[in-house]
Amino acid sequence: MNTDPERVALVTGATSGIGRAVARRLGSMGWRVAVTGRDAERGRRTVEEVEEVGGEGAFFRADLAETETVAALADAVRDRYDRLDVLVNNAACSPGERRLTDDGHERSFAVNHLAPYRLTHDLLPLLAASAPARVVTTASTLHRRGEIDFDDLRLDSGYDALDAYARSKLANVLFTTELAARLGKGVTASAVHPGFVPGSGLYRDASLRVRTGTRLAARLPRVGTSVEDGADGLVYAAVAPAAATRSGAYYEGTRPTEPDPRANDERLRERLWTQSAAMVGVDPDWP
């Protein structure tokens, strides 16, 4: 594991759950760690934890549901840091009801996929200038049940929370695979399924039924994964030397695993890439 104090990581969704554990672990290696979240007090506590274990922390308050906010976050990171070695796209949500952002996008798709897409786009020049660098995105094995209907990306015709979440996670895997195919040498991309983590803050906006089931699962032995164990795969993809040679890899924990076969569908990946660019207002011809 790399303990270079000059290295910089940005971890989104790092004020609770897996993201917080990842930030703390990178801090323990002496890294400078930028963390994002919506709650300033939780952000302050996360920065304190990063610094208590030997790192340097900074908090950026951001609700990643809005494209303008994502772009502003990228600007703030570039203003503060002259390098970026690792971008961990970890922030996620799973709302129990269909909600649209101010941009008019279905919220789970906006936070879980469109935000990583735009943030990676905006920060890629900084990552490339810091090469070797890595982009790590939190995915889920649920991506295998996801379906993307390009004629109904707002889910106007019906909403199921689990299906919406699975769709966003499939988008994460397709994005990672396509990004890796487009990148040259120097920056790698990977996606990680951390496991079912009942202690994650992911479920705070879920339906009452899902929240209740998650709390019950957290009390049962051998059900789910702890926050610390869930962070293992993300930290591995971020810093392990072996992960540097596997751009486009999908991990379940720290184990490279074959994702859903649709990850190999170049037409599907390109269509999602192009549509995502239009939705966040960038030229699709990148990097």
The letter for the amino acid at 47 is: V
Residues in Cβ contact with 255 at an 8 Å cutoff, skipping those fewer than 6 apart = none
The letter for the amino acid at 115 is: A
Sheet strand arrangement including 255-256: 56-61, 32-37, 8-11, 86-89, 133-138, 187-193, 249-252, 255-256
165 is a catalytic site residue: yes
Q: What burial letters (b/e) apply to 85-96, b meaning 16+ CB within 10 Å?
A: bbbbbbbbbbbe
Among candidate residues 81, 117, 165, 251, the one labeled active-site is 165
**Helix, strand, coil abundance in the chain, percent, nearest 5:** 50, 15, 35
Active centre residues (catalytic) = 165
